[in-house]
């Protein structure tokens, strides 16, 4: 049962990490005025760009931190 618990915990940490970093990225992207790059009255498209950029950037940052954490846990096997 230990192996299944470890897999479940890893999955939960991954999901929470992705959601956390996507939310932070969405908040940070609000500082940009992307509306100026789009045609007028294209509100839905601007919101969609914010969401897609948040997912792309947030997932990349989350993967970075999860990999660093994973690799750090394996460092003791080096010595």
Four-residue CA torsion sign, 47, 48, 53, 59: positive
Q: Which two tokens stand for residue 37?
A: 């790059």
Place of tokens 């992307």: 34
Residue 58's pLDDT is: 97
Residue 42's pLDDT is: 80
Tens digit of each residue's pLDDT (9 = 90 or more) over 7-66: 999 999 999 999 999 999 999 999 988 777 777 888 888 889 999 999 999 999 999 999
């Amino acid at each position: 049962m230990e192996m299944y618990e470890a897999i479940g915990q890893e999955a939960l940490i991954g999901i929470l990490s992705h959601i956390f970093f996507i939310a932070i990225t969405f908040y940070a992207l609000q500082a940009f005025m992307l509306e100026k790059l789009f045609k007028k009255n294209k509100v839905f498209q601007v919101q969609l760009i914010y969401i897609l950029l948040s997912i792309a950037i947030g997932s990349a940052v989350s993967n970075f931190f999860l990999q660093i954490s994973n690799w750090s846990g394996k460092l003791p096997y080096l010595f």
